Amino acid sequence: MSTITLKVNGRAHTVDIEPMTPLLYILRNDVGVQGPRFGCGLGQCGSCTVIINGAAVRSCVTPTSSVKGEITTLEGLSREGTLDPVQRAWIEEQVPQCGFCQNGQIMTAKVLLARNPHPTDAQIREGMAGTLCRCMTYYRIHAAIKRASMLIADAGAASVKGGAA
Amino acid sequence: MTTFTTIPPHIEDLLEKQNGPASRRDFLKTSGMLVVSISAAGLAGPLSAVTSAQAAGPYPDPNFRQLDSWIVIHENNTATFYVGKTDCGQGTGTAFRQMMSDELDIAYDKTTCIMGSTDVTVDQGGSGGSDAIQTDGWPMRRVAAEARRVLLGLASTRFGVPVDQLAVSEAVITVKANPSMKVTYGELIGGKRFNVALTGNNIDATTGVAKVKPVQELKIVGQSPQRYDIPAKVDGSLKWAVDVKLPGMVHARNVKPPVAGAKLISIDESSVRSIPGFVKVVSKGNYVAVVCEREEQAVAAAKQLKVNWEKPTTPAFPTSENLFDYMRSAKPTSSQAPAVVGDPDAAFARAAKLVEAEYDVPFQGHTSIGPAHATADPSNGQMTIYSNDMKSYGMRNGVAEFLQMPRDQVRVVWMEGPQGYGRTAADDAGFEAAFLAK
């Protein structure tokens, strides 16, 4: 066992754990966040995705001791009760069916859009290809990413306008 | 708040929200007993027997022939619908609210819907067969229509005006001739019981006296409101079945045989005793599980446990290569004659060209994106199982039988989960959790 300090969604959490434990268990059982979920446990489905240093990371196969940098989970996307544009798009497009995988879909889409704010259809398909949904909501995910892209662009335009006024 | 068992506050909130000082169970129990005392008025003897049987366990079946089992009107003029279905992600909860709101004449956003918790919602069998709306929606509509009828009756008495001279819209009843005379559903019955008996030989046939509205009068059905469960699934605030945490909770993992039909010969417990947090190995028949204090410890122990299995002499299932031969030669457990309309043989005989083909369709697993899971709480000699099972009632009855416990000491609290497309129909995980907990 060893003491590790993790920064999650802006807050520091010190945990006394077996350092090789996959990050997912520590986040869910010690830190107390529930956005990331156990899907396959093999890093193949994406349900456990968190964002670390701007990258989508599969927490079920990430040893906790290897984590350097702040962790953002689904809960950490919204700021002071305001949803992230990706989350807003997800609601407006009514994306989830059961919703269990959607943490991974949203977090992966968030990283995709941060790197490429105006992805083409092909880029969306490629960027989301490894994030699985058993309910087959892929078409709505695709539509929501397009919508989020527009929401982000609108917000950018509004803030530029606001800044000039 | 009830205090007889330790259940997470968010579940307690969910189940008992808006029910005032009395809990949902107390509400139903008292309501049911009142009915017993009425129906047994002429039978002094059986009454005490019936009431004491009801008092035996804390989780008796809600009586589907009581309006209070389905609908509660609150003092703030909102309503909660209690239905015996679960929503596997198709938005049926939203649809139930639409249908019941329409019949009750209340705005959709003034209602909530609680589903599939065996001690507080009637047994509609849970979900399966994609028939929630077409079959189970009917009793929901009829009981909501009945509640509206009863409320109109109460308003009629209050104003001394016949029902046909009253108008109702969005949970407010007005005297047509004098719209300043009005009363809300909440003012009429908020927080109190209807105490109205329903009829019907079975739950699907449940009905009151009122008739449902003709389709043309439906205002909420036919709209496409946003699903109420989606925001919490998107912002990360939803508590799923897999998120249940109880004080003193331990984690278990199953250890499955390498092939189907294998027989357990021996378990070497010393192979896992050194794992930190190891609690015990549990085994019965061919079932093996390891229990540890923490989740990752149980995962490690399940991998590490040395178990000696004897493979069956004849494999229980065919190999993948022989699957379709196996399926074609298998003796059907039941078969149905196809429905024939017209004369297919004659039609084929007349055909200009006959095309024949055989198709092999692979097995589609009823697998969900997450593993099967459940949490069982054996506190106070009762059993509460938190599960995403589609059929919480089947699980509850099965677990009671399996553990030889009275049904009314077992309940299943339904919560959202990775949906199973059939896999979670009286799912093993709930049985296993309850077995291990006991």
B375 touches A at CB < 8 Å: no
Q: What pLDDT does residue B362 have?
A: 78
Q: What pLDDT does residue A41 have?
A: 95
Q: How far is CA A158 from CA A153, A154, A164, B18, B136, in A?
A: 9, 6, 10, 41, 48
Cβ-Cβ contacts under 8 Å, B233 against chain A: 96, 99, 102
Q: What pLDDT does residue B322 have?
A: 87
The minimal CB distance from A91 to the residues B234, B245, B295 is found for B234
Q: Give the span between the Cα atoms of B193 and B184, in whole angstroms.
A: 16
Is this complex scored with an ipTM above 0.85? Answer: yes
Q: Give the span between the Cα atoms of B147 and B308, in whole angstroms.
A: 61
The minimal CB distance from B227 to the residues A38, A41, A94 is found for A94
Which stretches does DSSP call E strand in A10-153? 11-17, 49-52, 55-58, 71-72
- Judged by DSSP in three states, B369 sits in coil
Greater model confidence, B372 or B362: B372
Q: Give the span between the Cα atoms of B97 and B110, in whole angstroms.
A: 10
Q: What pLDDT does residue B419 have?
A: 82
Q: Give the span between the Cα atoms of B173 and B152, in whole angstroms.
A: 7
AA identity, residue A117: P
Give the residue-averaged pLDDT of A83-108: 98
Q: What pLDDT does residue B408 have?
A: 94
Q: Does the structure show a pLDDT above 70 at A63? A: yes
Q: What pLDDT does residue B41 have?
A: 31
Name the nearest CA neighbour of A66 among A25, A22, A13.
A22
The minimal CB distance from A98 to the residues B226, B299, B419 is found for B419
Task: Pull the structure tokens for residue B18.
Answer: 């808006």
Q: Are B230 and A91 an interchain contact pair (Cβ–Cβ within 8 Å)?
A: yes
**Residue B9: partners with Cβ closer than 8 Å, 6 or more residues away:** none
| Mean model confidence pLDDT for chain B | 88
Q: Does the structure show a pLDDT above 90 at B318? A: no
A94 touches B at CB < 8 Å: yes
Q: Does the structure show a pLDDT above 60 at B19? A: no
Q: Give the span between the Cα atoms of A52 and B286, in whole angstroms.
A: 43
pLDDT tens digits, one per residue of A118-155: 999 999 999 999 999 999 999 999 999 999 999 999 98
Q: How far is CA B24 from CA A109, B68, B88, B140, B193, in A?
A: 41, 10, 24, 19, 11
Give B131's pLDDT tier (boundaries 50, 70, 90): confident
Burial class, B391, CB count within 10 angstroms (exposed 0-12 / middle 13-18 / buried 19+): buried
pLDDT tens digits, one per residue of B380-400: 899 999 999 999 999 999 999
Q: Does the structure show a pLDDT above 90 at B24? A: no
The pTM for the full model equals 0.88
pLDDT tens digits, one per residue of B149-173: 999 999 999 999 999 999 999 999 9
- Among all residues of chain B, which has the CA nearest to that of A135? B419
Question: What are the φ and ψ backbone dihedral angles of B386, each rounded to 5 degrees?
Answer: -95, 120
A22 touches B at CB < 8 Å: yes
Q: Are A100 and B419 an interchain contact pair (Cβ–Cβ within 8 Å)?
A: yes
Give the number of other Cβ atoms within 10 Å of residue B334's Cβ. Answer: 4
Interface test with A, best of B224, B229, B235, B292 (most A CBs within 10 A): B235
Q: What pLDDT does residue B39 have?
A: 31
| Mean model confidence pLDDT for chain A | 95
Q: Does the structure show a pLDDT above 50 at B32? A: no
Q: Does the structure show a pLDDT above 60 at B52? A: no
The minimal CB distance from B296 to the residues A22, A34, A73 is found for A22
Highest mean pLDDT among A97-101, B43-47, B54-58: A97-101
Give A14's pLDDT tier (boundaries 50, 70, 90): very high
